[in-house]
């Protein structure tokens, strides 16, 4: 599906890309050539907005949806644009938007932007497109969690991991933090595989082990709390602690194996990455690259962040050349077209 351009060249066509997570949102507005003409962001307050009701009791999907409407309005105002013809929202899904319903959110954003079409997609997809564009390959997105997406660019898709910090997200920030904290507690107990350096780091960051356990098991955002220990593991490894070094080496290897598993059989042997973890921890990045090199894959650096991927998908939506079989990928969370259901 494409979006009809303004008739007779009477007006400029614009597109919006949105990248939304639990603690912030990024938005870009570009013209039809891809030139970015406006930017907007919310670095704080998204989680709080998700927990408050919609303004005036309106059935909009909650305060987080209101915040996104504000973000769209800010982009349009900054560009002096009357509307955006196509919008792509990438998010962790319903949980990332505080329960805002995927059935109503695309329509809400479409009406706010004056758009003709809106796609609501997984953040893993916009991370992929931000890193590799619309070409084939695989991208592992690693921050607090870890997930990889691969495609052959002909309709074959694979999604690997992303199972959360209890069952998966191997090599991600929460995984590293948990492994580091476990090594600290092994040292405290006098068990093999412990790390005095990591125990010292635990005490500096969290207080006593008992205080850490009390905080960890009473919080809803346990994964984020675990991931806060990543800089301590990286610092201990840089200072020569063997347990910390082994954790980072294993994390890099696991992330590479997740990416390799996401490559469909006929996909180009190309792997890149997204998210903050891999570029911020040199030892992990080296282990990641080493494992991929052993498998003979190309390793281009990411072209851009996830919000760039959302914008590129919005341009593809405008042109009518979205990646093949997106509906069958499991990465499409919602879709809206003006007039499709309501006669608008």
Structure tokens at 21: 């997570």
Mean pLDDT of 267-275: 95
Has residue 166 been placed in a domain?
A: no
* Domain of 32, in residue numbers: 7-133+305-337
What does the pLDDT read at residue 22?
Answer: 62
> Interior CA angle at 194 toward 193 and 198, to 5°?
135
Q: What global pTM score does this model have?
A: 0.85
For residues 180 and 118, membership in a common domain is answered with no
User: DSSP class of residue 163?
Assistant: -
Has residue 74 been placed in a domain?
A: yes
Beta strands in 48-136 (DSSP E): 86-91, 117-122
**158, 262 in Cβ contact below 8 A?**
yes
For residues 288 and 309, membership in a common domain is answered with no
User: DSSP class of residue 23?
Assistant: S
For residues 290 and 310, membership in a common domain is answered with no
Q: Is the predicted pLDDT of residue 6 greater than 70, yes or no? A: no
- Distant-in-sequence, close-in-space partners of 181: CB < 8 Å, separation ≥ 6: 198, 202, 212, 226, 229
For residues 12 and 112, membership in a common domain is answered with yes
What does the pLDDT read at residue 338?
Answer: 81
**34, 129 in Cβ contact below 8 A?**
no
Has residue 149 been placed in a domain?
A: no
Structure tokens at 241: 């602690």
**pLDDT band for position 11 (cuts 50, 70, 90):** low
For residues 255 and 319, membership in a common domain is answered with no
Structure tokens at 141: 């997105």
25-84: pLDDT as tens digits: 889 999 878 899 898 887 754 554 444 444 444 444 456 677 888 888 889 988 888 889
- Distant-in-sequence, close-in-space partners of 186: CB < 8 Å, separation ≥ 6: 192, 193, 194, 195
Has residue 150 been placed in a domain?
A: no
> Interior CA angle at 196 toward 192 and 197, to 5°?
130
Mean pLDDT of 219-241: 93
For residues 23 and 100, membership in a common domain is answered with yes
For residues 180 and 282, membership in a common domain is answered with yes
| CATH code for the domain in which residue 227 is found | 3.30.420.40
For 206, the 3-state DSSP assignment is helix
Contacts of 234-242 spanning 24+ positions with Cβ under 8 A: 234/281, 234/283, 234/284, 235/201, 236/180, 236/195, 236/197, 236/198, 236/201, 237/283, 238/283, 239/197, 241/195, 241/197, 241/198, 242/195
118-162: pLDDT as tens digits: 999 999 999 999 999 999 999 999 999 999 999 999 999 999 999
User: DSSP class of residue 88?
Assistant: E
Residues 189 and 162: their CA atoms lie apart, in Å, by 32
Q: How many CB atoms lie within 10 A of CB 168?
A: 17
What does the pLDDT read at residue 102?
Answer: 58
Which range of 1-10, 50-59, 101-110, 276-285 scores highest in mean pLDDT? It is 276-285
For residues 244 and 318, membership in a common domain is answered with no
What does the pLDDT read at residue 343?
Answer: 38
For residues 201 and 129, membership in a common domain is answered with no
For residues 216 and 252, membership in a common domain is answered with yes
What does the pLDDT read at residue 331?
Answer: 92
**90, 21 in Cβ contact below 8 A?**
no
Has residue 163 been placed in a domain?
A: no
94-121: pLDDT as tens digits: 444 544 555 678 888 888 888 899 999 9
Has residue 153 been placed in a domain?
A: no
What does the pLDDT read at residue 108?
Answer: 86
* Nearest Cα to Cα of residue 260 among 227, 286, 289: 289
Domain total in the chain: 2
Structure tokens at 259: 């990416």
What does the pLDDT read at residue 103?
Answer: 66
Has residue 145 been placed in a domain?
A: no
* Nearest Cα to Cα of residue 88 among 140, 128, 144, 139: 128
Look over the chain and give the mean of its residue pLDDT values, rounded to a whole number.
86
Q: Is the predicted pLDDT of residue 3 greater than 50, yes or no? A: no
- Distant-in-sequence, close-in-space partners of 166: CB < 8 Å, separation ≥ 6: none
**115, 29 in Cβ contact below 8 A?**
no
Mean pLDDT of 255-275: 96
For residues 106 and 24, membership in a common domain is answered with yes
What does the pLDDT read at residue 283?
Answer: 97
What does the pLDDT read at residue 288?
Answer: 98
**Which region among 68-72, 131-135, 252-256, 299-303 has the lowest average model confidence (pLDDT)?**
68-72
Q: Is the predicted pLDDT of residue 1 greater than 50, yes or no? A: no
168-222: pLDDT as tens digits: 999 999 999 999 999 999 999 999 999 999 999 999 999 999 999 988 888 888 8
For residues 26 and 105, membership in a common domain is answered with yes
Has residue 36 been placed in a domain?
A: yes
């Amino acid at each position: 599906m494409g979006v009809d351009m303004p008739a007779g060249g009477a007006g400029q066509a614009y597109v919006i890309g949105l990248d939304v997570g639990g603690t912030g949102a990024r938005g870009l507005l570009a013209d039809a050539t891809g030139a970015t003409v406006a930017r907007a962001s919310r670095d704080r307050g998204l989680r709080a907005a998700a927990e408050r009701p919609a303004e005036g009791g309106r059935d909009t999907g909650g305060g987080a949806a209101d915040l996104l409407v504000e973000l769209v309005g800010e982009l349009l105002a900054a560009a002096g644009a009357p509307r955006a013809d196509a919008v792509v929202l990438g998010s962790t899904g319903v949980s990332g938007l505080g329960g805002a319903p995927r059935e109503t959110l695309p329509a809400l954003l479409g009406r706010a932007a004056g758009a003709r079409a809106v796609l609501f997609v997984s953040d893993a997809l916009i991370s992929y497109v931000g890193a590799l564009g619309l070409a084939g390959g695989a991208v592992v997105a690693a921050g607090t969690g870890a997930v990889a997406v691969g495609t052959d660019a002909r309709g074959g898709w694979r999604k690997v991991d992303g199972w959360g910090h209890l069952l998966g997200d191997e090599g991600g920030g929460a995984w590293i933090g948990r492994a580091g904290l476990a090594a600290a507690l092994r040292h405290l107990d006098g068990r093999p595989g412990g790390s005095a350096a990591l125990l010292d780091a635990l005490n500096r960051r969290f207080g006593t082990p008992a205080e850490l356990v009390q905080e960890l098991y009473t919080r809803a955002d346990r994964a984020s709390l675990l991931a806060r220990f990543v800089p301590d593991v990286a610092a201990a490894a840089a200072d020569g602690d063997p347990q910390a070094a082994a954790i980072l080496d294993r994390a890099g290897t696991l992330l590479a194996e997740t990416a390799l598993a996401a490559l469909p059989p006929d996909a180009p042997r190309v792997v890149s990455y997204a998210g903050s973890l891999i570029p911020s921890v040199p030892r992990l990045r080296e282990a990641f690259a080493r494992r991929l090199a052993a498998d003979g894959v190309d390793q281009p650096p990411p072209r851009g962040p996830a919000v760039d991927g959302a914008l590129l998908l919005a341009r593809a939506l405008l042109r009518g050349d979205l990646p093949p079989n997106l509906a069958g990928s499991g990465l499409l969370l919602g879709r809206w077209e003006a007039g499709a259901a309501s006669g608008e």
